[in-house]
Amino acid sequence: MLVCAAVVWLAPGQGPGALAVCVAVSLPTIFVLTRAGEERQFLFRVFTLAVLARIIVATIIFIGHKEEFFGGDANTYDTFGQSLLQSWHGDTYHSERFTVFINSGASAWGMVYLVALVYQFVGQNRFAIQLVNASVGAAAAVVIYYSAQTLFNNTRVSRIATMLVAFFPSLILWSSQALKDGLIILTLALAILATLRVMEKVTVGWVIVLAGCLIALLSLRFYIFYMMTASVVGSFILGMKTMGAQSFIQRFVAIVAIGLAFTWFGVLRYAETSFTRYSDLKVIQMSRVDQANAGSGFGKDVDVSTTEGALTAIPIGLVYLLFAPFPWDMATLRQSITLPEMLIWWGSFPLLVLGLWYALRHRLRQVAPVVIFTTMLTLVYSVFQGNVGTAYRQRSQLLIFYFIFVAVGGVLLKERAEDKRRQAQLAKQELAEMQAARLLARRQTQT
């Protein structure tokens, strides 16, 4: 109540409408949480606090007019969202303007449609878009809880992963702005959860969720669509060894149904056009050069226009994607404020390696969707990322899954420490019992 009152007081013109949209978007998550069973209270608290944290950050960015400072894409979505809305009302100029924007190869038309839809109900209100992202960003933490629970059936692991996704600073930052990152994160998390559930048992509901997530990814960042589709297919193939005839038929029907949905909505045609346009390494090289020549660019001499060049770019790109910004790179305020988070991330990386090693050894088929997708996306970003700021932003799409393995590694170390402590206590108890028995025997001998 205090946070909402402060929002209305600080932004009286757009705050009430933005909060109303946030509540409306949060209702599906709240409905799911009412059926969450024993973990309902924990998940309710995490979701509520995560939403409030993002509302606070979103308010600071909005009233301080820091959209350009953190992510200038918000201005683009606002501009063309208005054009799309005007085209719905018969404005031919804005209709042509929006068409030119889409034909230019912009891959975030789904975000523009969302902006226009929200503006249709509450008027031009960029703050409302920020609070939509605040809700979906917090909801991603809930989805990660269910994904981790499906993978490892360990409440400790699920809770730790949920807390990290809910309150890690960069994940809060990128889901508190009028950017597409919050939507992408939630869609990725839902797609993985739907894949895991379909691998367990094919149901109409989860097939629809999976198809919807893949279509949404195509509208937000088209190349992630290919990677997630490959992850789904690869996971189904890996699971065929333990699959009976009935399960095989069910999964085959599910794949056919998703394919038909893609055909119906024109997804395959659009995906083919996008792939043809951007599969050329020379186009990727042009994009990378633009990033590298920016203020926080790196690897300006790297050329990924050939297959050999792309392969040689992976090591340095991987280092920057996973660990940048480095202390010696923090020359500006934007880079310096990331230092506390980076210290936490650098310290947790060994836990990521330990958790991933355990998962690959003991639960390869279960974690296949996560491992295939994160590996592909990590390698792709390593090739065409040439800017520290962009790498830091794109890492958020990987962190939500990395944190599951970080939680696994942390729980493994904690359980090992508990086992050692338990064994030490048992040894002390056995020694005490042995000494007591000897003392008793000595007394009996003396008597």
SS3 of residue 387 by DSSP: strand
Cα–Cα distance for residue pair 249/246, rounded to 1 Å: 5
Tokens read off for 292: 């590298």
Find tokens 């690869």 and name the residue.
Answer: 234
Quick one: how far is CA 68 from the chain centroid? 23
Are the C-beta atoms of 320 and 298 separated by less than 8 Å?
yes
The span from the CA of 405 to the CA of 357, in Å, is 9
CA angle at 77 for the pair 71 and 81, rounded to the nearest 5°:
160
Per-residue pLDDT of the chain (447 residues; tens, 9 = 90+): 999 999 999 999 999 999 999 999 999 999 999 988 889 999 999 999 999 999 999 999 999 988 887 777 888 899 999 999 999 999 999 989 888 887 776 668 899 999 999 999 999 999 999 999 999 999 999 999 999 999 999 999 999 999 999 999 999 999 999 999 999 999 999 999 999 998 888 888 998 999 999 989 988 888 888 888 888 888 877 765 555 666 666 666 776 676 666 666 565 565 565 555 555 666 677 777 777 776 677 777 777 777 787 788 888 889 988 998 888 776 666 777 888 899 999 999 999 999 999 999 999 888 999 999 999 889 888 887 777 878 888 899 999 999 999 999 999 999 998 888 888 888 888 888 888 888 777 777 776
| Model pLDDT, residue 222 | 81
Question: Tokens representing 91?
Answer: 């404005």
In degrees rounded to 5, what are phi and psi of residue 223?
A: -70, -25
Q: Encoding tokens for residue 296?
A: 């926080």
CB-based contacts of 21, cutoff 8 Å, min separation 6: 118, 121, 122, 125, 128, 131, 132
On whether the CB atoms of residues 302 and 292 are closer than 8 A, the answer is yes
32 vs 36: CA distance, rounded Å: 7
Read off the tokens for 226.
């290919």
Residue 387, phi then psi, degrees to nearest 5: -140, 130
User: Is-contact 207 257, C-beta < 8 A?
Assistant: yes
Listing DSSP states for 243-255 in one string gives --HHHHHHHHHHH
How far is the C-alpha of 139 from the C-alpha of 346, rounded, in Å?
26
CA atoms of 316 and 396, how far apart (whole Å): 19
Q: Are 56 and 172 in contact (CB under 8 A)?
A: no
DSSP states along 286-311: HHHHHHHTSTTB--TT---SSHHHHH
Tokens of residue 262, six digits: 């893609």
